[in-house]
């Protein structure tokens, strides 16, 4: 497992412990994360792997305060969790 995957797993386990979702990252979260990558790519120099990400969310990437970042993260998390529970 790569270092970034290990960090991602550790972060997800901390989220799961605090908020109660499954200890396995739901596929919807991976999908949303991959779509955020597209929005981030416009701020990077082109790389070969960018082509596999072509379904942006359309979010504008900018600097946010920790408080705004937390609020937005929790809002998105709750929305995705509610969609999953309703499915």
CB 51 within 8 A of CB 33: no
Quick one: pLDDT band at residue 85, thresholds 50, 70, 90? Answer: confident
CA 6 distance to own-chain centroid: 15
Please give the average per-residue pLDDT across 70-77, as a whole number. Answer: 90
CA 74 distance to own-chain centroid: 11
pTM attached to this predicted model: 0.36
CB 56 within 8 A of CB 37: no
Q: Tell whether the model's pLDDT for residue 6 goes beyond 70.
A: yes
pLDDT tens profile 9-56: 888 888 888 777 677 777 777 777 777 777 777 666 666 666 666 666
Q: What is the pLDDT of residue 64?
A: 77
């Amino acid at each position: 497992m790569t270092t970034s995957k290990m960090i991602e797993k550790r972060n997800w386990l901390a989220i799961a412990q605090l908020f109660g979702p499954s200890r396995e990252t739901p596929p919807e979260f991976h999908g949303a994360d991959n779509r955020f990558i597209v929005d981030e790519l416009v701020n990077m120099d082109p790389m070969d792997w960018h082509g596999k990400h072509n379904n942006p969310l359309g979010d504008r990437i900018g600097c946010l305060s920790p408080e705004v970042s937390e609020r937005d993260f929790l809002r998105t998390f709750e929305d995705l969790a509610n969609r999953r529970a309703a499915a």
